[in-house]
């Protein structure tokens, strides 16, 4: 039933038997049953950002930003497939019980492919970072995994939030995100376009805000002109939750609920997450919509249900409970966590040598926190392994592990009746009795996330600045003053100001929100059982002083492509325990040398091949990255990522890896939003990070940069 034409035919046939009232009711996210037609109730709202969410037990993968740090499309596809499998298992079992409640359907409102343009945005950890190319490639792979390649859709993925949406959270219900044509086509739209045109994503969700004056869930420009017109999208469109109500209550572009419902439906919004479509029949009576408008959306929705095989026997009907949190799925989540961890600094202390340690101190509010493992939009794991538990399990009885919470996550005391910082002295005592101190700091979903999602009051889920909460800063300073070597583990979904850690800690690790059992992986990395290999999908700025205003959607001065200040840690950066060397590079079959020039005559030649050698003593994974900058006034100020490949090498092993480039690698976007190739010369850089000065300083390695002539 991947035949959309046949699914559409069946949908038209079924919808034609419905009354106007029945059709209108099917456009609600909680669509009721129509017993006379054999149509069961269906709830369109389900979540699968990094595992099946909010519906009980499921494999909890690292948060999306962590999976992005893996730079691994194969991993993303496998993860999507596992999530679809567990979703089918739950759907089958729940349906058998007659349970068709929210979070139990097969339409997943994931992935989030918005661009993490500002580090203060609280929902950025739901995304794949700041780069449109990386976001598009990872999003495409995830959708491919979710939707599968069987006779029916394994699940239906949804690209969200279309299209210019990345904070501020507190203003999203009334905010107008103004973006130039260049920024739209260069930054905000490419990932959505890739998911529509290359992954055939089944659904797209609109954003809360307006974009250039139009509310996104009622935008004829975004939905009709671009999405359905230019890109040929044939799936269904869903509003963000209660976003249509914002038309008349916050955006003030309509006066009544009936007008808002009509605006959204006319623009092409098929499913209302919210209750404004309860007013559709009144809008019909007022002549604001036609029965044809309602019918069109109903047919789109039933087309998706037929594509999923929800009225047929399918190859997925036998998937059962034994597939949920299976041994294989947990192993994949562990692999994802291992690939996600980014080593930012190491003065040689890591990996820790267990045989040389008598005691390890584990300190900090996130050291034994389950919340710090899971991010937001998560499922429920049957078992969690925190960093403290992972270290305890890894060293066993051979090494004493001392623990102190050190401080509250953000309050000035743990116990309400204490006089002030009431765990710092305990942390100092732990440090005194330890050979090394592992300090676990950061945030969790109560501090960064969606506005109101978990009751957070920390700037409505956004960050006011990049600083750790003050109690954590005080704790870190106290640990540094002990004179014991400090290994900092930062568990956040976003870039933080880690300048103090870079200056005073022996090692710094960005662990993100690593998943339910992420503490085991972090322990494995600390003790050398696994070598870190993650790369930053976002820039870690030194502070926010040089950043434009949060409300400014211009890309000038933002992200690595437009950055003018020197970052603390650059996009694409990450250290390892090994020593993989770039032995040689060829492009289009021609050997490349530093500052050499290569002529490419046809698209088939747009391929980079890198020869690698593992000169270290440990098995290692690395990420080859290819950056391109056109000799054009329309090019981004800095080189941009145009290709990447993760590769694994055993000690002493040599291997060649191929990184294909498409013609878009050489294209630019002009001020009119037009994509063109307006140059003959391009600087191509191949290495394990960006071709920038800061990456060279931190890694001691330099990209091989050469010129390509077209």
- Catalytic amino acids? 240, 448
Tokens 């966590």 locate to 337
DSSP one-letter code for 228: I
**Is 536 within 8 Å of 69 (Cβ atoms)?**
yes
Nearest to 567 by CA among 577, 552, 553, 557: 557
- Alpha-helical runs (H) found in 396-545: 424-432, 470-481, 499-504, 518-526
**Is 96 within 8 Å of 142 (Cβ atoms)?**
no
Task: Provide the CB-side half-sphere exposure for 705 (13 A, CA).
Answer: 15
Measured CA to CA, the distance from residue 641 to residue 647 in angstroms comes to 17
**Is 458 within 8 Å of 410 (Cβ atoms)?**
yes
DSSP one-letter code for 647: E
Token pair belonging to 400: 């004493």
Measured CA to CA, the distance from residue 600 to residue 590 in angstroms comes to 9
Measured CA to CA, the distance from residue 663 to residue 677 in angstroms comes to 9
Strands (E), 257-347: 342-346
The distance of Cα 321 from the centroid of its chain, to the nearest Å, equals 27
Task: Provide the CB-side half-sphere exposure for 460 (13 A, CA).
Answer: 9
**Is 387 within 8 Å of 439 (Cβ atoms)?**
no
Measured CA to CA, the distance from residue 111 to residue 162 in angstroms comes to 11
Burial of 657 (0-12, 13-18, 19+ CB in 10 A): middle
Measured CA to CA, the distance from residue 7 to residue 239 in angstroms comes to 23
Measured CA to CA, the distance from residue 588 to residue 597 in angstroms comes to 12
Strands (E), 259-411: 342-346, 359-363, 400-404
Measured CA to CA, the distance from residue 495 to residue 508 in angstroms comes to 13
Pairing of strands 42-43, 30-31: antiparallel
């Amino acid at each position: 039933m991947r035949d959309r034409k046949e699914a559409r035919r069946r949908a038209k046939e079924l919808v034609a038997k419905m009354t106007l009232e029945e059709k209108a009711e099917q456009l609600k996210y909680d669509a009721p049953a129509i017993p006379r037609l054999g149509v069961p109730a269906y709830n369109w709202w389900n979540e699968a950002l990094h595992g099946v969410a909010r519906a009980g037990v499921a494999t909890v993968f690292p948060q999306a930003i962590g999976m992005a740090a893996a730079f691994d499309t194969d991993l993303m596809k496998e993860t999507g497939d596992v999530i679809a499998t567990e979703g089918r298992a739950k759907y089958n079992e729940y349906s058998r019980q007659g349970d068709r409640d929210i979070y139990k359907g097969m339409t997943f409102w994931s992935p989030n492919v918005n661009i993490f343009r500002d580090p203060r945005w609280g929902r950025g950890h739901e995304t794949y970072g700041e780069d449109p190319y990386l976001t598009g490639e990872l999003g495409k792979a995830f959708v491919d995994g979710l939707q599968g390649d069987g006779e029916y859709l394994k699940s239906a993925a949804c690209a969200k939030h279309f299209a210019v949406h990345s904070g501020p959270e507190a203003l999203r219900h009334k905010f107008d995100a103004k973006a130039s044509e260049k920024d739209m086509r260069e930054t905000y739209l490419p990932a959505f376009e890739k998911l529509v045109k290359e992954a055939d994503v089944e659904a797209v969700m609109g954003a809360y805000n307006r974009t250039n004056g139009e509310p996104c869930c009622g935008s004829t420009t975004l939905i009709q002109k671009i999405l359905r017109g230019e890109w040929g999208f044939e799936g269904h469109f869903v509003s963000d939750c209660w976003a249509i109500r914002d038309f008349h209550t916050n955006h003030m572009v309509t006066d009544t609920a009936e007008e808002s419902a009509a605006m959204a439906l006319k623009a092409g919004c098929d499913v209302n997450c919210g209750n404004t479509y309860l007013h559709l029949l009144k809008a019909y009576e007022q002549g604001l919509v036609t029965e044809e408008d309602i019918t069109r959306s109903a047919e789109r929705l039933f087309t998706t249900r037929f594509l999923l095989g929800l009225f047929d026997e399918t190859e997925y009907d036998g998937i059962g409970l034994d597939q949920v949190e299976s041994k294989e799925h947990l192993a994949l989540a562990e692999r994802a966590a291992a690939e996600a961890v980014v080593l930012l600094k190491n003065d040689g202390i890591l990996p820790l040598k267990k045989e040389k340690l008598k005691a390890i101190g584990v300190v900090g509010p996130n050291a034994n926190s389950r919340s710090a493992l899971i991010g937001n939009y998560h499922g429920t794991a049957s078992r969690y392994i925190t960093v403290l538990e992972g270290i305890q399990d890894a060293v066993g009885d051979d090494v004493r592990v001392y623990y102190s919470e050190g401080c509250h996550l953000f309050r000035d005391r743990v116990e309400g009746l204490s006089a002030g910082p009431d765990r710092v002295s305990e942390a100092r005592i732990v440090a005194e009795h330890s050979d090394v101190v592992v300090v676990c700091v950061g945030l969790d979903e109560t501090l960064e996330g969606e506005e109101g999602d978990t009751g957070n009051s920390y700037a409505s889920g956004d960050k006011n600045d990049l600083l750790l909460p003050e109690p954590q800063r005080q704790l870190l300073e106290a640990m540094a003053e002990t004179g014991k070597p400090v290994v900092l583990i930062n568990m956040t979904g976003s870039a933080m100001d880690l300048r103090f850690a870079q200056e005073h800690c022996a090692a710094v690790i960005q662990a993100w929100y690593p998943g339910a059992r992420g503490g085991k992986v972090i322990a494995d990395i600390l003790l050398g059982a696994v070598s870190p290999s993650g790369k930053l999908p976002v820039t870690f700025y030194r502070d926010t002083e040089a950043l434009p205003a949060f409300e400014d959607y211009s890309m000038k001065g933002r992200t690595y492509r437009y950055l003018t200040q020197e970052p603390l840690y650059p996009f694409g950066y990450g250290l390892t325990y090994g020593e993989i060397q770039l032995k040689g590079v060829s492009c289009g079959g021609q050997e490349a040398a530093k500052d050499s020039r290569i002529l490419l005559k046809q698209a088939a030649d747009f391929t980079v091949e890198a020869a690698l050698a593992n000169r270290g003593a440990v098995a290692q994974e690395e990420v080859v990255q290819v950056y391109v900058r056109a000799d054009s006034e329309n090019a981004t100020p800095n080189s941009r990522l145009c290709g990447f490949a993760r590769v694994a090498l055993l000690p002493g092993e040599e291997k060649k890896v191929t990184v294909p480039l498409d013609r878009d690698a050489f294209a630019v976007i002009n001020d009119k939003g037009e994509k063109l190739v307006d140059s003959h010369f391009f600087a191509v850089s191949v290495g394990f990070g960006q071709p920038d000065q800061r990456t060279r300083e931190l890694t001691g390695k330099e990209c091989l940069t050469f010129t390509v002539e077209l």
